[in-house]
Amino acid sequence: MADVRRIGLDEVVRHFEELEDPRCSVNRKHPLVSVLVIALRAVLAGAGGPTAIARWAALKREFLSQMLDLPNGIPGKDVFRRVLMALKPAAFRACFTDWLQSLRAEATAATGVERPILPVDGKTARRSHDRQNGLGALHSVSIWASEFGLSLGQVACDEKSNEITAIPELLRLVDIKGAIITIDPMGAQKAIAEQIVDGGGDFVLALKGNHETLHQAVIDYIDEQLEGDLSDAQEHVTTEKGHGREETRTYLQLPAPEQLPGFMKWKGLKSIGLATSHCLRDGTEAVEVRYYISSLDVDARQFARAVRGHWSIENSCHWVLDMTFREDESRLRERNLRENFAWLNRFALSLLKQHPGRQSLAMKRRSCGWSDTFLMEVVTGSTC
Mean residue pLDDT of the chain comes to 90
Residue 311: CB partners within 8 Å, gap ≥ 6?
A: 119
Higher pLDDT among residues 115 and 282, named by residue: 115
Range name among 15-24, 123-132, 181-190, 243-252 with the lowest pLDDT average: 123-132
**Quick one: average pLDDT of 83-112?**
91
Higher pLDDT among residues 298 and 139, named by residue: 298
The backbone torsions φ and ψ at residue 102, rounded to the nearest 5 degrees and listed phi first, read -65, -45
How confident is residue 3, by pLDDT bands cut at 50, 70 and 90? very low
- Domains of the chain in start order, with CATH, are 9-99+334-380 (no CATH), 113-319 (3.90.350.10)
Supply the pLDDT for residue 331: 83
- Cβ atoms of 35 and 87 within 8 Å: the answer is no
Supply the pLDDT for residue 14: 80
**Quick one: average pLDDT of 281-291?**
90
Supply the pLDDT for residue 243: 76
Supply the pLDDT for residue 1: 35
The backbone torsions φ and ψ at residue 27, rounded to the nearest 5 degrees and listed phi first, read 65, 30
Supply the pLDDT for residue 2: 35
How confident is residue 4, by pLDDT bands cut at 50, 70 and 90? very low
**Quick one: average pLDDT of 215-240?**
92
Supply the pLDDT for residue 276: 96
CA 18 – CA 36 distance, rounded (Å): 13
Residue 241, pLDDT above cutoff 50: yes
Range name among 91-105, 126-140, 259-273, 329-343 with the lowest pLDDT average: 126-140
Report the chain's C-alpha Rg in angstroms. 23
* 355 burial via Cβ count (<10 Å: 0-12, 13-18, 19+): buried
Supply the pLDDT for residue 160: 45
CA 278 – CA 301 distance, rounded (Å): 18
Record the pTM: 0.90
Quote the DSSP letter at residue 209. Answer: G
Higher pLDDT among residues 18 and 270, named by residue: 270
Residue 137, pLDDT above cutoff 80: no
Residue 148, pLDDT above cutoff 90: yes
Supply the pLDDT for residue 138: 75
Residue 358, pLDDT above cutoff 70: yes
How confident is residue 121, by pLDDT bands cut at 50, 70 and 90? very high
**Quick one: average pLDDT of 219-229?**
91
Residue 169, pLDDT above cutoff 50: yes
The SS3 assignment for 107 reads: helix
Quote the DSSP letter at residue 75. Answer: -
3-class SS string, the chain: CCCCCCCCHHHHHHHHHCCCCCCCCCCCCCCHHHHHHHHHHHHHCCCCCHHHHHHHHHHCHHHHHCCCCCCCCCCCHHHHHHHHHHCCHHHHHHCCHHHHHHHHHHHHHHHCCCCCEEEEEEEEECCCCEHHHCECCEEEEEEEECCCCEEEEEEECCCCCCHHHHHHHHHHCCCCCCCEEEECHHHCCHHHHHHHHHCCCEEEEEECHHHHHHHHHHHHHHHHHHCCCCCCCEEEEEEEEECCEEEEEEEEEEECCCCCCCHHHCCCCCEEEEEEEEEEECCEEEEEEEEEEECCCCCHHHHHHHHHHHCHHHHHHHHHHHHCCCHHHCCCCCHHHHHHHHHHHHHHHHHHHHCCCCCCHHHHHHHHHHCHHHHHHHHHCCCC
What's the N-to-C CA distance of the chain in angstroms?
Answer: 13
Residue 250, pLDDT above cutoff 90: yes
CA 269 – CA 264 distance, rounded (Å): 8
Using one digit for the tens of pLDDT, what is the confidence trace for 321-335?
999 999 888 888 788
Using one digit for the tens of pLDDT, what is the confidence trace for 42-89?
999 999 999 999 999 999 999 999 889 999 999 999 999 999 999 999
**Quick one: average pLDDT of 204-230?**
92
**Quick one: average pLDDT of 297-308?**
97
The backbone torsions φ and ψ at residue 290, rounded to the nearest 5 degrees and listed phi first, read -130, 145
